[in-house]
């Protein structure tokens, strides 16, 4: 604003430059990262968050909204010209249209800028006048964070470690057979490279499905628009006594690995990840509990891996890139809490907190504030009490994909999280205390009212933790 006033008296051209400069200099920007593995609920979270920030009737837990300090909210062109815009309108239309449905899966990074007009309340606040705060939301696959492991490793080291792990896993048999049949010294042919890469990708997908989270390169699981490019067509090969000659299969695999690091993985960390101020990591906790102890243990491991990316010092390459920059707050949120009655939400939150504690015990987030929460970005159910065998049970009712209404009692989550986490860690095959069921409810129709966004559970609290302090 000072710059604006100084240039006022000079020339028109300078004034315009000053206006652009003052916008970038004086209007605060919050860069909010939204991540989680495939189907964790990223797209639904962003769509509902933005809709609920534009129409704030359902956001009492966001202090600035409750106090009336947010006087306007609008979408703007995003600042990054090279990544796709988050398809907000398309996703909102899917979720809240006449025949509501869940949005299509998204396989790449995208961004959206929501600008908020904020007039802080109270005596001090009203002195300052209104200001604009920009919320840049970046949606990116959690799988991409796994690539941090590669940045410090040469192709030889990565191959040696990856192959040692693969040899202990039955699901790698197909890939190892293809590898054994390949001649590392033969001149590269594209079909040979593709066959090896395809066998390796198939193994990675199987390893992921079996619950391993050490599945690099991350883009082999989530290739996005890079599928089929040479930088994504390689595989680990055993180290040779001497360097393979130029043009050979192994030498080319090494070159592509380096290209992947430099041209695919590094730009994401440099241009996007390193600029994030606040981060939400979404997980499908109830889905994992339903799938059994193995899936819960894997979720804990994956959470640890993802959170590891936010631990400065773990990776020398990342530390150099970040310098003094740090993500300030990390929210670890279990989505789809609308699958259980609210009387069970404290138990769900306790499980999340216990998992976060485990991950935190292993990592030092150097000042980042972390929290765990159970939320539903889009509430698809209503609650009701029913008597079963003389017991009052809290149930949820919703519409199944088939259009039929269903009432579900998903099981009782234990109040003590260790009843789930200990058997999971000890490798139990199934839960002793009973089963947990999950149904796939469709989004409910006719939920939008004037001045309100889509119904949710604790989305306002999540927003308050993530960026509420920046709206005061
Ligand atoms: N009941 C309920 N289901 C949800 C909620 N959020 C997500 N889901 C379910 O989870 C699925 C995945 O949600 P998305 O938001 O598309 O997940 P994503 O992380 O963007 O997935 P990818 O784009 O495939 O990586 C949806 O199709 C819904 O079935 C929620 O708040 N409540
Ligand atoms: Mg998505």
- 260-269, 320-329, 343-352 — which is least confidently predicted? 320-329
Return the closest-CA partner of residue 147 out of 56, 219, 247: 219
Report residue 321's pLDDT band, with 50, 70 and 90 as the boundaries: confident
Find the mean pLDDT for residues 292-311.
82
**Percent of the chain predicted with pLDDT > 70:** 92
Residue with the two structure tokens 């002793």: 432
Report residue 367's pLDDT band, with 50, 70 and 90 as the boundaries: low
Task: Tell whether ligand 1 has an atom less than 6 A from the beta carbon of residue 43.
Answer: yes
Residue 397's beta-bridge partner residues? 382, 407
pLDDT at residue 63 above 90? yes
Residue-wise pLDDT for 137-169, tens only, equals 999 998 898 898 899 899 999 999 999 989 988
pLDDT at residue 7 above 60? no
Distance (angstroms) between ligand 1 centre and the Cα of 34 equals 13
Q: What is the pLDDT of residue 122?
A: 66
Q: What is the pLDDT of residue 434?
A: 72
pTM: 0.89
Q: What is the pLDDT of residue 472?
A: 83
Nearest CA to ligand 1 atom 1: 336
Pocket probe for ligand 1: among 84, 102, 348, 457, the residue whose CB has the most ligand atoms within 8 Å is 102
Q: What is the pLDDT of residue 440?
A: 85
Mean pLDDT, the chain, whole residue set = 88
Task: Tell whether ligand 1 has an atom less than 6 A from the beta carbon of residue 42.
Answer: yes
Report residue 32's pLDDT band, with 50, 70 and 90 as the boundaries: very high
Return the closest-CA partner of residue 467 out of 142, 139, 137: 137
Element spanning 331, H or E = strand 329-334
Find the mean pLDDT for residues 351-376.
83
Q: What is the pLDDT of residue 5?
A: 33
- CA–CA distances in Å: residue 413 to residues 229, 306, 337, 418, 429: 46, 25, 12, 11, 18
pLDDT top residue among 6 and 94: 94
Nearest atom in ligand 1 to 282's CA? 19
Find the mean pLDDT for residues 277-299.
89
Distance (angstroms) between ligand 2 centre and the Cα of 106 equals 4
Pocket probe for ligand 1: among 39, 108, 140, 339, the residue whose CB has the most ligand atoms within 8 Å is 39
In the chain the domains, ranked by start, together with CATH numbers, are 27-140+277-299+325-380+445-471 (3.40.50), 146-270 (no CATH)
Q: What is the pLDDT of residue 88?
A: 97
Find the mean pLDDT for residues 228-247.
94
Separation CA 144–CA 148 (nearest Å): 8
Task: Tell whether ligand 1 has an atom less than 6 A from the beta carbon of residue 40.
Answer: yes
Separation CA 112–CA 344 (nearest Å): 34
- Ligand whose nearest atom lies closest to the CA of 459: 1
Task: Tell whether ligand 1 has an atom less than 6 A from the beta carbon of residue 440.
Answer: yes
Would you say 380 and 96 are in contact if contact means Cβ atoms under 8 Å apart?
no
| Local structure of 354: helix, strand or coil | helix
Separation CA 249–CA 182 (nearest Å): 9
Residues 6+ apart with CB under 8 A from 257: 150, 155, 158, 234
Half-sphere exposure of 211 (CA within 13 A, CB side): 15
Find the mean pLDDT for residues 280-304.
87
Nearest CA to ligand 1 atom 6: 41
Nearest atom in ligand 1 to 284's CA? 10
Q: What is the pLDDT of residue 125?
A: 60
* Length of the chain as a residue count: 472
Residue-wise pLDDT for 167-221, tens only, equals 988 899 999 999 999 999 999 999 999 999 999 999 999 988 877 777 899 999 8
Backbone angles phi, psi at 273, to 5 degrees: -60, -45
Nearest CA to ligand 1 atom 5: 336
Separation CA 382–CA 384 (nearest Å): 7
Task: Tell whether ligand 1 has an atom less than 6 A from the beta carbon of residue 221.
Answer: no
* Angle formed by the axes of helices 345-362 and 293-308, nearest 10°: 50
Separation CA 446–CA 466 (nearest Å): 29
- 44-58, 99-113, 120-134 — which is least confidently predicted? 120-134
Pocket probe for ligand 1: among 33, 35, 44, 462, the residue whose CB has the most ligand atoms within 8 Å is 44
- Ligand whose nearest atom lies closest to the CA of 281: 1
Task: Tell whether ligand 1 has an atom less than 6 A from the beta carbon of residue 36.
Answer: yes
Task: Tell whether ligand 1 has an atom less than 6 A from the beta carbon of residue 441.
Answer: yes
Residue-wise pLDDT for 415-464, tens only, equals 999 999 999 889 888 887 777 887 889 998 877 889 999 999 999 999 99
Find the mean pLDDT for residues 262-276.
93
pLDDT at residue 22 above 50? no
**Percent of the chain predicted with pLDDT > 90:** 60
Task: Tell whether ligand 1 has an atom less than 6 A from the beta carbon of residue 103.
Answer: yes
Return the closest-CA partner of residue 73 out of 456, 376, 356, 453: 453
Q: Decide the pairing of beta strands 131-139 and 110-118.
A: antiparallel
Residue 273's beta-bridge partner residues? none
Q: What is the pLDDT of residue 13?
A: 38
Separation CA 141–CA 144 (nearest Å): 6
| Local structure of 161: helix, strand or coil | helix
Report residue 281's pLDDT band, with 50, 70 and 90 as the boundaries: very high
Q: What is the pLDDT of residue 365?
A: 60
Q: What is the pLDDT of residue 134?
A: 96
Element spanning 128, H or E = helix 122-128
């Amino acid at each position: 604003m000072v710059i604006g006033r100084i240039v006022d008296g000079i020339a028109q051209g300078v004034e315009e430059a000053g206006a652009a400069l003052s916008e970038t200099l004086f209007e605060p920007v919050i860069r909010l990262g939204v991540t989680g593995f495939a189907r964790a609920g990223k797209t639904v979270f962003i769509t509902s968050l933005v809709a609920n920030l534009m129409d704030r009737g359902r956001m009492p837990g966001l202090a600035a909204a409750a106090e009336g300090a947010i006087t306007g909210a609008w979408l703007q062109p995003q600042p990054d010209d090279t990544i796709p815009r988050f398809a907000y309108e398309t996703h909102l239309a899917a979720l809240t249209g006449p025949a509501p449905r869940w949005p299509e899966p998204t396989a790449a990074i995208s961004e959206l800028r929501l600008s908020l007009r904020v007039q802080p309340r109270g005596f001090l606040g009203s002195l300052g006048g209104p200001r604009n705060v920009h919320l840049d939301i970046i949606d990116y696959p959690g799988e991409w964070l796994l690539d941090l492991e590669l940045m410090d490793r040469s192709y030889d080291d990565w191959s040696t470690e990856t192959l040692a792990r693969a040899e202990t896993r039955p699901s790698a048999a197909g890939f190892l057979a293809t590898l054994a049949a390949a001649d590392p010294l033969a001149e590269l042919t594209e079909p040979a490279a593709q066959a090896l890469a395809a066998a390796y990708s198939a193994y990675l997908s199987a390893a992921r499905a079996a619950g391993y989270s050490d599945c690099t390169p991350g883009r082999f699981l989530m290739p996005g628009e890079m599928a089929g490019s040479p930088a994504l067509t390689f595989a680990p090969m055993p180290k040779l006594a001497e360097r393979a000659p130029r043009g050979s299969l192994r030498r080319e695999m090494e070159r592509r690995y380096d290209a992947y690091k430099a041209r695919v993985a590094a730009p994401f960390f440099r241009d996007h990840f390193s600029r994030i101020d606040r981060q939400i990591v979404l997980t499908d906790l109830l889905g994992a509990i339903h799938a059994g102890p193995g899936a819960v243990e894997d979720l804990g491991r994956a959470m640890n891996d993802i959170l590891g990316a936010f631990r400065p010092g773990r990776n020398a390459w990342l530390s150099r890139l970040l310098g003094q920059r740090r993500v300030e707050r990390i929210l670890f949120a279990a989505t789809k809490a609308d699958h259980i009655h609210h009387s069970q939400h404290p138990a769900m939150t306790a499980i999340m907190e216990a998992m976060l504690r485990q991950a935190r015990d292993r990592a030092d987030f150097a000042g980042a504030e972390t929290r765990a929460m159970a939320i539903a970005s889009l509430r698809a159910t209503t609650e009701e009490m029913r008597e079963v065998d003389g017991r009052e049970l809290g149930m949820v009712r919703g519409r199944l994909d088939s259009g039929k209404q269903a009432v579900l009692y998903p099981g009782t989550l234990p109040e003590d999280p260790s009843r789930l986490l200990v058997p999971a860690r000890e490798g139990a095959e199934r839960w002793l205390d009973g089963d947990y069921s999950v149904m796939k409810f469709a989004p409910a129709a006719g939920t939008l009212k004037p001045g309100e966004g889509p119904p949710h559970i604790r989305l306002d609290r999540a927003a308050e933790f993530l960026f509420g302090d920046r709206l005061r």
